[in-house]
Amino acid sequence: MQNYEIIYEDITEEPKYEEIVDKVFTKCFEEEQLQNTKLYITVTFTNPQNIQKINQEYRNVDKPTDVLSFPMFERQEIEENIKGKRLQHEDVLGDIVISIPKVEEQAKEYGHSFERELSYMLVHGFYHLMGYDHMEEEDKKEMRAKEEKILGTLNISR
């Protein structure tokens, strides 16, 4: 079962993006033992203007960004529901919005591939949907370790 839906908003559809999404989310779902659930993620690929509008509307931050995540569950709910096998119905884990031009820009800035930068954005967004955050140093370490494990397993390096 495909665990994601991809929406293109004001940018050109690109099969390369879809291959990366499939590879990354398959590994994320396996790692978090979600592959037998009916959870799915909506990923919107867009441009800086659209992501700025969304950032302003939902976070009151009037500037473009690289990725936004909108989780549907709290971390505790996910953990309890996965362990309790209560996620048997199709349900959205959350939404991730990614600015493709910003991914391209950051890949050049950091000196690594577009695939690596997009993969990181997807993994980062996924773990936000899973209830992880990076505001506190301890939480940041936990989230980064999970992100790096996924990218390392996929041999996607800097």
The CATH number linked to 142 is 3.40.390.30
Tell me the mean pLDDT in the region 104-112. Answer: 95
Q: What are residue 68's DSSP bridge partners?
A: 97
Q: What are residue 136's DSSP bridge partners?
A: none
Is residue 15 in a domain? yes
DSSP label of 1? -
pTM greater than the 0.85 cutoff: yes
On whether the CB atoms of residues 150 and 24 are closer than 8 A, the answer is: yes
Is residue 71 in a domain? yes
Domain count, the chain: 1
Tell me the mean pLDDT in the region 136-140. Answer: 81
- Residue 61: the pLDDT is 95
Is residue 158 in a domain? no
Is residue 44 in a domain? yes
pLDDT confidence tier of residue 98, bands split at 50, 70 and 90 = very high
Q: How far apart are CA 60 and CA 63, in angstroms?
A: 9
- Residue 121: the pLDDT is 97
Which residues, 6 or more positions from 102, have their beta carbon under 8 angstroms from its beta carbon?
A: 48, 51, 64, 65, 66
